[in-house]
Amino acid sequence: MARRNLRGLRVLVTGASQGIGRALVVEAARRGCRVLAAARSQPLLEELAAQVRSAGGIVQTVVADVTKPEDRTAMVAAATQHFHGLDVLINNAGIGATGHFMDSAPDILRKIFETNFFGLTETTRVFLPLLKQGTTPAIVNISSVVGKRALPARSLYSASKFAVMGFSEAIRAELAKDNIDVIVISPGLTQTNFSKNMLEQKAKMPLDHLRGMTSEEVAVATLRALERGSLDVTLTFRGKLLVLVNRFAPWIIDFFAKKKVRELFADEIAERQKKRAEAAQATAGIAQATK
């Protein structure tokens, strides 16, 4: 766990065109980092680069999709070309979906894992050689509170973030010999376009993202963790409370989660009970008639 001075560090941010990723690029550049911003949208990257440079920051961009091997190679080439290496990799790119597992298609889960987990792990893999040669190197994985405590109607996204947590904990020990820190940031609700960009939204009870932290606040908290060498940071009061209660009394969260689901599906439950009662009554009638 290393404390670090951010000024001059070479930083790559994936998923940089919007939301938390964009805020991370702006804040890192403001603090004197040399930033490589990676995302799929060239127009949004160009807009971001113009904003950062007008404020005196140093930024380069690369159009890349973390799920594609050739694009991951392009990110390594860009980091080498522009900055002759890399000190900090921030794995921020992610997608999500809401809805109950039984109502989701298998390809939705696979798409989420391709970006949130495999995209993250394989991006990490290709950058390890550069990071091993970096200055106070670190990998920062942007996870989620639901990667520590899953909630109903978020099973697909939660599963991908639990995988990120497990991967991060394992490689943290593995990379200690190379002096590479592995930092996990778990935001709660955040005011971004994330919910609008989900693969599907089928949850009966949507979460109010406008009540969460701003992207800028998440970016500041992330870079503060990077400076201090904090390895596992959970954001927002509600997020911290959820994790704390789950640690000592997970049954409380289970109770209220089940209660809420039953309330949301009260009509479906009532209809099912009615059909069972009718079937039982019909069975009883048949039995009576055969006596």
What is the C-alpha separation between 186 and 161, in angstroms, rounded?
9
Burial zone of 58 (CB within 10 Å; 0-12 exposed, 13-18 middle, 19+ buried): middle
> Across the strands, what pairs with 183?
140
Which of left, alpha, beta for 177 (phi over 0: left; psi -120 to 50: alpha)? alpha
Residue 191 is a catalytic residue:
no
**Residue of 83, 117, 127, 157 marked catalytic:** 157
Backbone φ and ψ of 263, nearest 5°: -65, -45
Buried b (16+ CB within 10 A) or exposed e, 29-47: bbbebbbbbbbbeeebbee
Tokens of 210: 């406008």
List residues with catalytic annotation: 157
